[in-house]
Amino acid sequence: MTSILQTTGFAVAVLDALASNICIVDRVGEIIAVNRAWQNFGAANSIDVYRSDVGTHYLKVCRGAVGPGSEEAEDFATGVQSVLSGETALFQMEYPCHSPTESRWFLGRVTPLKVKQQGAVISHLNITDRKMLEVDLARLAATDPLTGLPNRRYFLQIGNGEVERVRRFRSSASVIMIDVDHFKGVNDTYGHAMGDETLRCLSRLCTGSIRQIDVLARIGGEEFAVILPATDLPGAAKLAEKLREMVEKTPVQKENTMVRITASFGVTEIFADDRNIDDALARADAALYEAKRTGRNCVKVFPDVRYAAPELHS
């Protein structure tokens, strides 16, 4: 196999010119050649597979990996083996390969070496820029631009996962819905800039009073919702009352204008027979409507209210 590469310097020059980290393995998975990018990356990083040189058994190194990324290494070794055995004509896989100082992702690609002796060409292309862009786009798609909170889409995604956990493990979880009272009046009287600051102020107050595992999101114009994992109904109601008092006592200030606001709260527990988070939101919505109907600036809890309710109004 080595003689194939030694017949011409052209192949070596081509391999060394490529930015991808490339190695060539024989039919059993032993490395018979590596390019310059592979050598340079291995010298700069304490990653076993990249530090492997000619004569090292690539599959053994992958399958012996431990610590972060070891699962990906095992999966990649399985893909390499499938190409070497002829079961697959192409295998590729994206995987993280983070360093202590930066996040990195690579695209590993394995293609058969079409010569009599067989083997495979294995390349690892750094795709960090693309993955970071994907992460940023995903974050933007899940974020409310005004408050910086998760948006409704993200809330529903996380909420459905919480419903599934309640269903499988019979654990407790609750939902709080929050609606700013007379929000239209704030906009009409003080302008939309003050209205925007009101929403940002409420989001800051609530964020500072919940746990890291809780999820606060802006799900509508002046509506917010909180998912509280491992929290029963009394615990959620207690938190809602704490938040209500904070909102009432904390004025919204923008430049020389100060506005006092209140908010109404609807609380429910997630049930094991909920089909999805929408079922829990509907109950919290009913409780919130009751809070609005009975004077605002209060907390109402389901099942202490009627389930059917019309659309909310500020």
Q: How many CA atoms lie within 13 A of 124 on its CB side?
A: 23
Cβ neighbors of 144 (< 8 A, separation 6 or more) are 150, 151, 217, 218
Under 8 Å between Cβ of 218 and 147 = yes
Strands 263-269 and 299-301 come out as: parallel
Distance, C-alpha 192 to centroid of its chain: 32
Rounded CA separation 238/241 (Å): 5
| Cis, bond preceding 150 (omega within 30 deg of 0) | no
| Catalytic residue flag (residue 222) | yes
How many residues would you count in the chain? 314
Record the tokens describing residue 157, joined without a space. 């995604």
Rounded CA separation 289/124 (Å): 56
In the set 72, 162, 222, 223, the catalytic residue is 222
Rounded CA separation 4/63 (Å): 28
H helical segments located in the chain: 2-6, 9-17, 36-44, 48-51, 58-63, 70-84, 128-141, 152-169, 183-190, 192-207, 233-249, 277-293
Question: Any idea what DSSP says for residue 230?
Answer: T
Rounded CA separation 99/44 (Å): 11
Which residues are known catalytic residues?
Answer: 222
